[in-house]
Structure 1
Amino acid sequence: MVYLDSTYQLTGVAKEEGGYMWVNYPRWSDSYRYGVVHVTGTNSREPYPDSVMNKWQAGQPGTNKWVCVQSVYVDDSSRLWVLDPAAPKMKNVTGGGAKLVRINKSTGFPERTYSFKGIIPDSAYVNDIRVDVQRNYAYLTESKGGGLIVIDLNTGKMRRLLSSHYSVKSDTTFYFVIDGQELMKDGRPVKINSDGIALTPDYAWLYYKPLTDNKLYRIRTEDLRNASLTDTALASKVEDLGHFTTTDGMIFDKAGNLYLGDLQNYSIVRIDKNHKMTTLVKDQRLLWPDSYAIGDGYLYITCSQIHKQPEYNNGVNKRTSPYAVYRIKL
C-alpha cells in the first residue's frame, strides 16, 4: 500500500515518473473534502493545486473549481490532466462545470480548460481519459448514456461518437455478481456503460469497454479522428475482441500489455499482444480496483470499494477497510 484514506472515497490516480503522485476524490456523498490532492505520504496529502480550487459550493459556477472529479492522468509528455464530470452524487452536470483541465505543473494551476458544454447532455458523466501526445488528441469515455469523446487538443474541437453503438452499452443480459450477489440499486441491476479506456503504446488503437459486463472492444484512432466517416461507417470499424473480465479502468504498458481489473474475483489480469489473458495477482484487498497508472516500474491501483456503497446494499455502508492505492512491480 502506498496511500490510504480512512474517511474519503477515492477513484483516480496519476503518477509522474520519478515525481509526484496525485489522487482524486469524486463528490459522490456528503462525506467529501477535496477533489484532487498531491500525495505527500502514505497517510498524508495536500489539496491540489490549492484549497480554493477545492472549495466549490452548490450554487456556484463550476468552470473554475473542482466540482466532482472522476479521473487524473499523466500523459507520455508528463502533462497532468484532470477530468471533472461536475455531476455531484452522479446526478446532473452542475454549474456548467463538466470539463477537462490541463495543469501547468510549474505553477500547479490550469493552463487550458476544455468545456463539454454543448457536447454532452447534462445527464452525462465523462469518466476516463487517454492522450495521444504525438497528434495531441484526447479520447474519453462517457459512462451514463455511453459513448466516446474525441478532442483535438490544439483547436479544442470535440465530437461525441458511437453513442448509440452496442460496444458502449452494458450487456443487459450479463449478471454482474460480486460477493455472491448481483449488484443492485433501487431494486434494479446496476448497468454502467463505457468506462475503461486505454491507448496502445503507438497510439494506433483505442481499447474500451462497458463496466458491468466482460466484453472488450477496440477501434483504430485514425478512424475516430476521421470526421468524414458517417456514424454507420465508423460503427463498422469497431472490433469485438470477445469476453475477458469486468473491469473499471485499464491501462497499457510500453510493451503492449493491457492491465485490467477483475472486479468479481478481486484480481488484476494482464492481456498480452495476442489477447491471451493471465491473472497477475488475486488478493482480497483488491476491493473494486478502479483506476490505474504506471510509473517508476510499478502498476498503481486505486481501490474505491464501489460495491460496498450504501446505495448498492439497501442503505447499509459495507466498507471494510481504508480506501487505498496499491502498487505492483512490473
Structure 2
Amino acid sequence: MKTYIITYISVLTLVLAACTNSSKQQSATEDSTQSIGETPAVLEEVFADSTYQLTGVAVAADGRLFTNYPYWLDKHSYSVAEIKDGKPVPYPDAAWNSFKKGDNGEHKFVCVQAVVADDKGYLWVVDAAGIGLGSVYQHSNKVVKINLATNAVEHIYHFPDSVTANDSYINDIRVDNASGFAYMTSSSNGGIVVLNTNTGQSRFVLHSSPSVLSDTAYHFTMDGRELTKTDGSIPKINSDGIALSPDKAWLYYKPLTDDKLYRINTVLLRDFSTPAEKINNSVEDLGKFVTTDGMEFDRNGNLYLGDLEKSSIVKITPDLKMHTIATDTVKLSWPDSYSISADGYLYISASQIARMPWFNNNQNRTVYPYKIFRLKL
C-alpha cells in the first residue's frame, strides 16, 4: 500500500509539473490561441483598420468580404465597406456613405450596426440610425437590401413607430428567403422585429418577454471587473445575438449581458395574427451558456458564439453541448459578429467595445488596429 501511495504521488507531481511548464510556454508565445480538440485553432488575420471601429462582418458566397462601421464616436467616415486588396472601399458607393449630421438619412447610411450576406446573392444592411447609441435620427432607421451582382440597392425597408420606436436600436438580422421573412433584434428596449420581405409589413414581438431582457442579477465581467459606464451605472444590453437554424424553423436569440439562450419556432413569428401572449408563452429556455454579441449556425446545426468574458469562441452542438474551440486574450477582444464562408471558415470581427471611452472613465483603451480574423472549422 505504501508503495502504491508513493507511486501515485510521484505521478501526480509529474502531471502538475507538466501543466505548469505548459502554462509557462503558452504565456511566453505571442499567439495565445488555445483550443479543445485534435487540431489547434489558428486565428488568421484577414483585415485590419487602424482608424475606425468596425463591428460587422459578412462573407458572400463568392468570397467577397464586407464590414461596417457604426457612427458611435466622433471619429467616423464611411459606414459599409467592401474589403478589396486589404483596403476598405465604401459600398455600394460613396453617396450611400456620405452622411453628415444634418443630412437627410433616408438614402444614406446613418449608423450601421450589421451586414449579412444571404444565400441568394444579397447583402443586407441594418441601419439602426442611433448615432452614439442615441435615439433614432430623423426616423431614418432601415434595412437596405443590395444586389451583390449589380452592386445596386434593390429595396429599402422602413418601419412604423409601433415597430421601431424612437428608442429602438435594431441590431442584427437573419434572413429566410424561402419564406420571405427577416428577423432582427432590438438591443435597447428588448424585442424581435419580424419583417415580411415581400410585402414590407413588420411586427414587433416579445417586447414583454423576460427572454429579451438582460438578467439584472448577472455580473458581466470584462478584464477582471464588471463592465461599468463612466457615470458608474451598469449597462444592461438586451436582445442582441440572433441566429436561424439551418432549416429556418427556429430563431435563436439572447440578451448580450447575461449567459442565457432562447429560441422560438418561426412559424409563430411569420403569422402576424398569432397573439402576442401565445408567442411569449412559446419561447423555449435552452439554459445558460456564455455572454456573446453575435452568433452563427453552420450547415450542420452547430451554433458558434463568442464568450466575451473569456475572449473565446465556443461551439454549441445540436445536443446543446458546449465546446471551446479557440481562446485568445489578445486577438479576441470583444468578438463581435460572425459569418461562415463557402470554404468553411468562420469569420470573426473584434470590435474592442469594452475598451471604448464609454466604459473607461472617458479614456480610450483601444489597441489599434481593429481586426477581422478567420478560423477554419
The TM tier, using the shorter chain, reads over 0.9
* 2:335 alignment partner in structure 1: 289
User: For 2:349, what is the secondary structure of its paired residue?
Assistant: strand
* 1:54 alignment partner in structure 2: 97
* 1:246 alignment partner in structure 2: 291
* Alpha-carbon distance between aligned partners in 2 of 1:272 and 1:279, rounded to the nearest angstrom: 11
| Amino acid paired to 1:222 | V
Q: For 1:134-175, what per-residue CA distance to the aligned partner results, in whole angstroms no more than 9, with x for missing partners?
A: 101001000000000101111111000001110000000000
* 1:139 alignment partner in structure 2: 183
User: For 1:321, what is the secondary structure of its paired residue?
Assistant: coil
* Alpha-carbon distance between aligned partners in 1 of 2:201 and 2:65, rounded to the nearest angstrom: 30
* 1:94 alignment partner in structure 2: 137
* 1:187 alignment partner in structure 2: 232
Q: Find the partner of 1:317 among 364, 368, 374.
A: 364
CA offset at residue 18 of structure 1?
2.5
* 1:301 alignment partner in structure 2: 348
* Alpha-carbon distance between aligned partners in 1 of 2:368 and 2:286, rounded to the nearest angstrom: 35
* Alpha-carbon distance between aligned partners in 2 of 1:45 and 1:177, rounded to the nearest angstrom: 33
Bigger proportion of residues as helix: 2
Q: Report which stretch shifted further, 71-80 or 203-212.
A: 71-80
Q: Please tell me whether residue 76 in structure 1 is matched to residue 110 in structure 2.
A: no
CA offset at residue 20 of structure 1?
1.1
* Alpha-carbon distance between aligned partners in 2 of 1:115 and 1:297, rounded to the nearest angstrom: 34
* Alpha-carbon distance between aligned partners in 2 of 1:178 and 1:264, rounded to the nearest angstrom: 5
| Amino acid paired to 2:127 | D
Instruction: After TM superposition, list the pairs within 5 Å mapping 1:227-266 onto structure 2.
Output: 227-266=272-311
Q: Find the partner of 1:13 among 57, 69, 72.
A: 57
Q: For 1:29-58, what per-residue CA distance to the aligned partner results, in whole angstroms no more than 9, with x for missing partners?
A: 01111100010133x121111112111121
User: For 2:309, what is the secondary structure of its paired residue?
Assistant: helix
Instruction: After TM superposition, list the pairs within 5 Å mapping 1:26-41 onto structure 2.
Output: 26-41=70-85
Going from structure 1 to structure 2, the CA distance change for 1:226 and 1:240 (only over 3 Å counts) comes to: same
* 1:271 alignment partner in structure 2: 316
* Alpha-carbon distance between aligned partners in 2 of 1:79 and 1:106, rounded to the nearest angstrom: 8
* Alpha-carbon distance between aligned partners in 2 of 1:234 and 1:50, rounded to the nearest angstrom: 40
* Alpha-carbon distance between aligned partners in 2 of 1:299 and 1:166, rounded to the nearest angstrom: 31
Q: Is the 8 A contact 1:61 1:96 kept in 2?
A: no
CA offset at residue 264 of structure 1?
0.2
Q: Is the 8 A contact 2:121 2:147 kept in 1?
A: no
* 1:116 alignment partner in structure 2: 159
CA offset at residue 203 of structure 1?
0.1
Q: Please tell me whether residue 129 in structure 1 is matched to residue 176 in structure 2.
A: no
* 1:165 alignment partner in structure 2: 209
CA offset at residue 227 of structure 1?
2.3
TM-score in terms of structure 1 length? 0.98
Instruction: After TM superposition, list the pairs within 5 Å mapping 1:147-162 onto structure 2.
Output: 147-162=191-206
Determine which structure has more spread, i.e. the larger CA radius of gyration. 2
| Structure 1: stretches of 5+ with no match in the other structure | none
Q: Is the 8 A contact 1:194 1:208 kept in 2?
A: yes
CA offset at residue 274 of structure 1?
0.3
Q: Is the 8 A contact 1:258 1:272 kept in 2?
A: yes
| Amino acid paired to 2:310 | N
| Amino acid paired to 1:182 | E
* 1:207 alignment partner in structure 2: 252
User: For 2:164, what is the secondary structure of its paired residue?
Assistant: coil
Q: For 1:178-208, what per-residue CA distance to the aligned partner results, in whole angstroms no more than 9, with x for missing partners?
A: 1010001121111000000000000000000
* Alpha-carbon distance between aligned partners in 1 of 2:121 and 2:62, rounded to the nearest angstrom: 11
| Amino acid paired to 2:323 | T
* Alpha-carbon distance between aligned partners in 1 of 2:199 and 2:247, rounded to the nearest angstrom: 22
| Amino acid paired to 1:174 | Y
User: For 1:62, what is the secondary structure of its paired residue?
Assistant: coil
CA offset at residue 221 of structure 1?
0.3
CA offset at residue 106 of structure 1?
3.1
